[in-house]
Amino acid sequence: MGKIIFYEDRNFQGRHYECSSDTPDLQSYFSRCHSIRVEIGVWVVYERPNYLGYMYILKRGDYSDYQCWMGFNDNVKSCRMVRQPRGGSYRIRIYERPEFGGQMMEFTDDCPNVYDHFRHREIYSCNVMDGAWVFYDQPSYSGRQYLLEPREYRRYSHWAAMSPMVGSFQRIMDF
């Protein structure tokens, strides 16, 4: 059970909406979102309804302005909670080609720079065996984010990326 609170204005002001479950359409609860407080869990908020558009992964904490979660604007139209793994294990395999082809490397920990470890700047497919992960299109956990939960991703488009460029990735852990 998680809890996230959306505020229409900066610094947790204005009309607000408390949410404790996945919600595909938040438009009827608020018109804009300038600040968010995550009280329990890890959440993914999306700029469009039905879990579409840019996504932002938010851990427990206060986000006083949309720029604090690296948002481009005040659009938050859907959200869902990230399910945490049982037993706390994390394991992912990344591949240099689609359909699990080419060089493969397995990780159980965060990777701040994919090129330094994998010698490729592109990841064309991956298999998330344990835990939830986030891919970033830039090194040092920055840039556009992509949520990957346990399953096979045969092509980068399966995790909603527009290109295979992955600069870094990390485990999603609830602190």
* Structure confidence by residue, pLDDT tens digits, 74-90: 999 999 999 877 778 99
Residue 126 and residue 166 in contact, taking contact as beta carbons nearer than 8 Å: no
Question: Taking the domains of the chain in order of start, what are their residue ranges?
Answer: 3-81, 86-171
Instruction: Tell me the pTM.
Output: 0.86
Instruction: Give the CA angle between residues 161, 108, 2 to the nearest 5°.
Output: 70
| Nearest Cα to Cα of residue 2 among 72, 57, 66, 83 | 83
pLDDT for 41 equals 93
Alpha-carbon distance values, 42 to 25, 28, 99, 163 (Å): 18, 23, 30, 26
In this predicted model, what pLDDT tens digit does every residue of 159-174 receive, in sequence order?
999 999 999 999 998 6
pLDDT < 70 regions, the chain: 174-175
CATH superfamily of 3-81: Crystallins (2.60.20.10)
pLDDT for 84 equals 77
CATH superfamily of 86-171: Crystallins (2.60.20.10)
